[in-house]
Structure 1
């Protein structure tokens, strides 16, 4: 199914790609998770002339940052000001060895340097100089090692440490960390050096509330050392393929645990049975575990459970009648269980609190859809790559609270889209299918609340784009079916709320399209790959001051062309292709 389209996402999330942004020659706009992280800032976000009166504090911060090279120390400033200056310099990536030295002994509270380039041993000296004031440190992706951790010994009030992707921290390093008795948050993702024996040091962190050891492949047996951490509420063991049923027994006494992530582990139905004692558990992520629908009997004892992810597990219709005992669930993810059929939907109709349901790639058809008609609280429905057709849509036409609907790679055609006209709350709609044409888009024009519209593989022509004028609130739009020309892009130029625009694979687009797009000044991500865009047309993009991602692969544009544009006009650009 969906063979006519050019992409279908891999059910296995490639974590690295989330931080690289938009990529791939025949790409659908990539996850913007990385973009959200890079665009968030804890300090100044307003510059003079941006439409409102800039506060005196903001002007002060901006001025200090502008003249930062003139200072040898900022320790005389109030802590809240020096903290904002530091955050601003990190955000703008202006921090280096010399500038960092000006923050020595500034009594800063938070040093968020995750994935920041240029980290070296001298940086740790400045970090440790903050002393007892320091509460939070993020050095993810750095070269921090056990020997450098020793320097933090005077930062006795540390509450949060984030050392993701820091492979040079070993069991010995955990011993140093165990001395921070006020620690409430510890993250050590993707560390192949940590072992079960080393985790014994964590037993001293009695105030720990959140522990993240995702992708740590040697910790089997080490969870026994967590038994005394009675305040623990969040535990992430995702992608630890060494974690087994016995480990679930070890954590079964953590009575305050509310969020447990064990995706892609070796936990089976027997392991899940140990979790029955976790009465406060509200979220359980078991994606890709070798569990079956038999585990539902154990899960039905978890009366507080609100979120359950069992995608890519070994579920079949047999035993799914136990879903009836999970009436409190708000989110249920059953994606990529290809042995699940319409029969399971009968058991879901009693889950009247359900707000999110993911049936991606299950063997669901129109026949079972009538069971969803009574789920009036449903806000998000994922039906991608199923056998749902036009008749099935009639059963969800009355779900007035529905905000997000994914019908990509289904057999829905233009005729079926008329049945969605009453879903006035709909904001996200995915119609990535070659079955959808201009006529289908015309049927949706009264859905004026749409903010995200995905027509990636749909056969939309220039004539169809005139219907887009009805969607004034659109923030994200993808049309990549190959039928657009510059004339069609002219109908997009008035969608001034757009932040994400993907028109890749429309090979007839020329520099004229960039001229139309130049007025979309809110754009953060733009993809025009596989088109006739040239380096000469890049001048039209100078107005897009908020642009962070630009993808022009297989165009007559070079990496140097984009770098020149970045240096002269698009200072916010952090990801571009070709590169």
Structure 2
């Protein structure tokens, strides 16, 4: 959604550049009955008076947090009250060294400080003082070290520990959690200081149900220490790049495994054979592993399997006839493989499929006839294939289809008419230069559309007339077209929009910002490479929900944007240019 008109779709995602994830403080950790309903309030609703009336308890909690300097301890309060005060301080980013001390010995159940900027070893003494009451701790992205981790060893009832992206935790730190036998969930994503030797500590975690070691690059040979964790249901070792066939053997006895994430490792067909006895396995992710279609011999024995990801595995048509045995699958990802229409013949019987990804495969017009009977299909990814307009006639009976991606295909305006009867479609990607105003006009029956991507399509002001039919649109991208302010007039009434990308329409002026000033639900706006100036920025003041604003190559200055951000748009956190 940036400024460029062409988007490369055949490159592997650089996972290092992906944002770490939603901070842990916004996720229910699983043990506190209060956190399920105590989510951050919308500052927009509060400011504009549209939020529901706060309860007396909520008002009291906020007042206490505002007057934190007046309190030295909350240990005399009921646990649920202390928990809510703690949560409010975290959500409002007001928890400090001083205010944290007030929670010593408060018997809190949940300490959710994922991505919290101040969390450090010196906080661990107060955290550990919760003792046997403490059930979950999330300190992801913090500077916690082995020394901090040692303090948790006496919190014997801990059920969940999340230390993702804590680079300072090593094998020595893991020794201190080896006695926490009540742990059911442990996550240590991207902990590169952990090795196979340190994983010995996991052998005693006999109640572990979920283990996440994604991007832990030094754990080769360590999965042997999981072989007796008979309750383990979910194991994630994605992108470790060191897991081999030998590491699969210890997993063969974990018969309760339901989810196994192995993508971007060195597992081959030989290693997959060790998994044949995992009859409860529901999800298997092998993306980027050097397997062939021969692995389907073993995978077909996984009778409960519903989700299979074989993206970027270098598969060819040879051996693909074994797909026909996977007739329970709901989701099948085969993107970026060297398969052709000949492979699709073997998918005809997979009538339970709800999602099929064929991104960048060598699929042509006639191959789609094999999908005509997949009546439960809801999502179909055909981006960067050789599919043309004629092939879309085979999809006309897929009445449950909700999402289809035809970006970078040979589909033209005429082909889009064949989709007009698929009124269940909510998401449509048409990132292709050959799509014009006529193509959009052919889609006006798809009134349920919530996402429309016309990035790179040749849409003009006239074509935007058709957009008036799509009252439910939440995201709209029209980039590199021929829009002027006149065309934006047809967008200004799409009040459900939360994302609007109009970049690369170089004729747009400040008038465009005036026209869209009523789209108050907008969270993301991109008008890069246009004639927007400082003079038009004041039209954005009503967009109180705006969190992301892109104005690259516009006639605006950083000082004016910052002034707008500080005075009128309190939720704006991402601005380009800064």
TM-score, scaled to structure 2:
0.93
Counterparts of 1:84 and 1:498, CA distance in 2 = 34
Query: Residue 176 of structure 2 aligns to a residue in which SS?
Result: helix
Counterparts of 2:281 and 2:205, CA distance in 1 = 21
Q: Deviations over 1:205-256 (max 9, x none)?
A: 0000000111112211111110110000000111122110011111111000
- CA, structure 1 residues 314+540, in 2 after alignment: closer, same or farther (shift >3 Å)? same
Counterparts of 1:559 and 1:146, CA distance in 2 = 42
- CA, structure 1 residues 307+365, in 2 after alignment: closer, same or farther (shift >3 Å)? same
Deviation, 1:10, is 5.5
Counterparts of 1:104 and 1:319, CA distance in 2 = 62
Query: Residue 166 of structure 2 aligns to a residue in which SS?
Result: coil
Q: What's the counterpart of residue 413 of structure 1? A: 412
Query: Residue 132 of structure 1 aligns to a residue in which SS?
Result: helix
Q: What's the counterpart of residue 315 of structure 2? A: 315
Deviation, 1:61, is 3.3
Deviation, 1:558, is 3.5
CA contact 2:134–2:155 (8 Å) conserved in 1: yes
CA contact 2:105–2:129 (8 Å) conserved in 1: yes
Query: Residue 98 of structure 2 aligns to a residue in which SS?
Result: helix
Q: What's the counterpart of residue 525 of structure 2? A: 526
- CA, structure 1 residues 507+5, in 2 after alignment: closer, same or farther (shift >3 Å)? closer
- CA, structure 1 residues 177+556, in 2 after alignment: closer, same or farther (shift >3 Å)? farther
CA contact 2:279–2:303 (8 Å) conserved in 1: yes
Q: What's the counterpart of residue 165 of structure 2? A: 165
Deviation, 1:446, is 1.2
- CA, structure 1 residues 563+95, in 2 after alignment: closer, same or farther (shift >3 Å)? farther
Counting only pairs closer than 5 Å after superposition, residues 36-51 of structure 1 correspond to structure 2 as 42-45=38-41, 48=46, 49-51=49-51
Q: Deviations over 1:107-129 (max 9, x none)?
A: 22222222221223322223222
Counterparts of 1:268 and 1:10, CA distance in 2 = 23
Residues 533-542 or 35-44, more deviating: 35-44
- CA, structure 1 residues 80+499, in 2 after alignment: closer, same or farther (shift >3 Å)? farther
CA contact 1:559–1:577 (8 Å) conserved in 2: no
- CA, structure 1 residues 420+549, in 2 after alignment: closer, same or farther (shift >3 Å)? same
Query: Residue 174 of structure 2 aligns to a residue in which SS?
Result: helix
Counterparts of 1:477 and 1:458, CA distance in 2 = 12
Residues 190-199 or 545-554, more deviating: 545-554
Provide the alpha-carbon RMSD of the alignment.
2.1
Q: What's the counterpart of residue 174 of structure 2? A: 174
Query: Residue 452 of structure 2 aligns to a residue in which SS?
Result: strand
Deviation, 1:267, is 0.3
Deviation, 1:567, is 2.0
Counterparts of 1:401 and 1:323, CA distance in 2 = 23
- CA, structure 1 residues 202+35, in 2 after alignment: closer, same or farther (shift >3 Å)? closer
CA contact 2:321–2:343 (8 Å) conserved in 1: yes
- CA, structure 1 residues 539+85, in 2 after alignment: closer, same or farther (shift >3 Å)? farther
Counterparts of 1:282 and 1:402, CA distance in 2 = 23
Counterparts of 2:14 and 2:112, CA distance in 1 = 24
CA contact 1:332–1:356 (8 Å) conserved in 2: yes
Q: Deviations over 1:158-209 (max 9, x none)?
A: 1111111112111111111112111111111112211111111100000000
Query: Residue 562 of structure 1 aligns to a residue in which SS?
Result: helix
CA contact 2:24–2:112 (8 Å) conserved in 1: no
Counting only pairs closer than 5 Å after superposition, residues 534-553 of structure 1 correspond to structure 2 as 534-553=533-552
Q: What's the counterpart of residue 568 of structure 2? A: 569
CA contact 2:10–2:336 (8 Å) conserved in 1: no
Counterparts of 2:403 and 2:85, CA distance in 1 = 39
Q: Give the total of aligned pairs.
A: 563
Deviation, 1:542, is 1.7
Q: What's the counterpart of residue 56 of structure 1? A: 56
CA contact 2:375–2:400 (8 Å) conserved in 1: yes
Q: What's the counterpart of residue 423 of structure 1? A: 422
CA contact 2:115–2:141 (8 Å) conserved in 1: yes
Q: Are residue 433 (structure 1) and residue 428 (structure 2) matched? A: no
- CA, structure 1 residues 515+72, in 2 after alignment: closer, same or farther (shift >3 Å)? farther
Deviation, 1:534, is 2.1
Q: What's the counterpart of residue 222 of structure 1? A: 222
CA contact 2:5–2:504 (8 Å) conserved in 1: no
Counting only pairs closer than 5 Å after superposition, residues 15-164 of structure 1 correspond to structure 2 as 15-19=15-19, 42-45=38-41, 48=46, 49-164=49-164
Query: Residue 503 of structure 2 aligns to a residue in which SS?
Result: coil
Return 5+ residue gaps in structure 2 as ranges. Answer: 29-36
- CA, structure 1 residues 135+407, in 2 after alignment: closer, same or farther (shift >3 Å)? same
Query: Residue 253 of structure 2 aligns to a residue in which SS?
Result: coil
CA contact 1:11–1:336 (8 Å) conserved in 2: no
Q: Deviations over 1:60-92 (max 9, x none)?
A: 333334444443333344333332333333333
Deviation, 1:426, is 0.7
Counterparts of 1:69 and 1:15, CA distance in 2 = 43
Q: Deviations over 1:480-517 (max 9, x none)?
A: 12411122122111111111111112222222211122
Query: Residue 374 of structure 1 aligns to a residue in which SS?
Result: coil
Counterparts of 1:86 and 1:529, CA distance in 2 = 41
Query: Residue 549 of structure 2 aligns to a residue in which SS?
Result: strand
- CA, structure 1 residues 467+111, in 2 after alignment: closer, same or farther (shift >3 Å)? same
Q: What's the counterpart of residue 264 of structure 1? A: 264
Deviation, 1:519, is 1.0
- CA, structure 1 residues 464+38, in 2 after alignment: closer, same or farther (shift >3 Å)? farther
Counterparts of 1:247 and 1:430, CA distance in 2 = 40
Q: What's the counterpart of residue 384 of structure 1? A: 383
Residues 54-63 or 485-494, more deviating: 54-63
Counterparts of 1:58 and 1:183, CA distance in 2 = 32
Deviation, 1:51, is 4.7
Counterparts of 2:179 and 2:402, CA distance in 1 = 47
Q: What's the counterpart of residue 403 of structure 2? A: 404
Q: What's the counterpart of residue 305 of structure 1? A: 305
Residues 495-504 or 566-575, more deviating: 566-575
Query: Residue 203 of structure 2 aligns to a residue in which SS?
Result: helix
Query: Residue 177 of structure 1 aligns to a residue in which SS?
Result: coil
Q: What's the counterpart of residue 33 of structure 2? A: none
Q: What's the counterpart of residue 325 of structure 2? A: 325
CA contact 2:286–2:311 (8 Å) conserved in 1: yes
Q: What's the counterpart of residue 25 of structure 1? A: none
- CA, structure 1 residues 106+522, in 2 after alignment: closer, same or farther (shift >3 Å)? farther
Counterparts of 1:544 and 1:37, CA distance in 2 = 26
Deviation, 1:55, is 2.9
Counterparts of 1:160 and 1:547, CA distance in 2 = 34
- CA, structure 1 residues 10+547, in 2 after alignment: closer, same or farther (shift >3 Å)? farther
